[in-house]
Amino acid sequence: MKDSTPAIIFEGIEKSFGSLKVLQGISGSINRGEVVAVIGSSGCGKSTLLRCFNRLETINGGRLVVNGIDLSNPNLSSKQLRRLRTQVGMVFQQFNLFPHLSVLENLMLAPRQVLGQSRSQSEERARFYLKKVGLPEKADNYPEQLSGGQKQRVAIARSLCMNPQVMLFDEPTSALDPELVGEVLLVMQQLAQEGMTMVVVTHEMQFAREVAHRVLFLNQGQVEESGRARDVLTHPKSDRLRTFLSRMSFVNAASSGEESS
């Protein structure tokens, strides 16, 4: 049975840190199998929005339902919260791998501890996902022996080992040397093609245009413009988005050495 309710529903969500209002009534939804790129200037609230989706931050107002779990319910049980954490994977700019564990051990840890998988089952799945991100030969290496791009692919594989329903990416390529960005985006593109539900905070406008179905442009804690990725990114309506994109295309062209078409 295909579930047609959105994977994430957010209505008027608000989040403040002290007197700083970071999210000021953001509404929208993420459908199942949809890839949504979240873009906007530094400090506009992109990470905060993403962190609300897996409850690294709690919202102060509005309604937020993630994979059927109502995060705006003040009586959210710890059982529901655990369920949420297994269903929503997150990939960060800094890969957050355990340095003292091998790649394989990094991948097996949460499935064993949180999902209660056996050693052999978790190892089988870990090897499966390592292969998927193109790194089957790195199973016994330690994170410090990998390039940034390889570390990030391991971090993605680690998330996938939990069999998530939704994947959140917070600037997954921003800490990488430019020549390593492509290999990570390729893995993400493959995931998207397989139908994973993905919310991606990114400055990679070409990726947003070609892989994302929709784009949310945030400005000062609000959705300034949203719509189909190609429409929004090629024919922006708001002046703020136009200005943002003209700055980004300069940055992207400068760092990749090519002009976007």
Nearer to Mg ion, 123 or 170 (CB): 170
| Interface mask toward ligand ADP for 143-172; x: CB under 6 A | ------------------------------
Task: State both tokens at 84.
Answer: 């949420």
Check residue 250 for interaction with ligand ADP (CB under 6 A): no
Check residue 47 for interaction with Mg ion (CB under 5 A): yes
Q: How far is the CB of 92 from ligand ADP (least distance, A)?
A: 11
Nearer to ligand ADP, 29 or 41 (CB): 41
Structural element, H or E, at residue 260: none
DSSP character at residue 137: G
| Interface mask toward ligand ADP for 44-83; x: CB under 6 A | xxxxx-----------------------------------
Burial 52-61, CB ≥16 within 10 A → b, else e:
bbbbebebee
CA distances from 65 to 8, 72, 251 (A): 6, 7, 35
Check residue 42 for interaction with ligand ADP (CB under 6 A): yes
Check residue 178 for interaction with ligand ADP (CB under 6 A): no
The rounded distance, in Å, linking the Cα atoms of 105 and 107 is 5
CB 152 within 8 A of CB 135: no
Binding interface with ligand ADP (CB under 6 A):
17, 20, 22, 40, 42-48
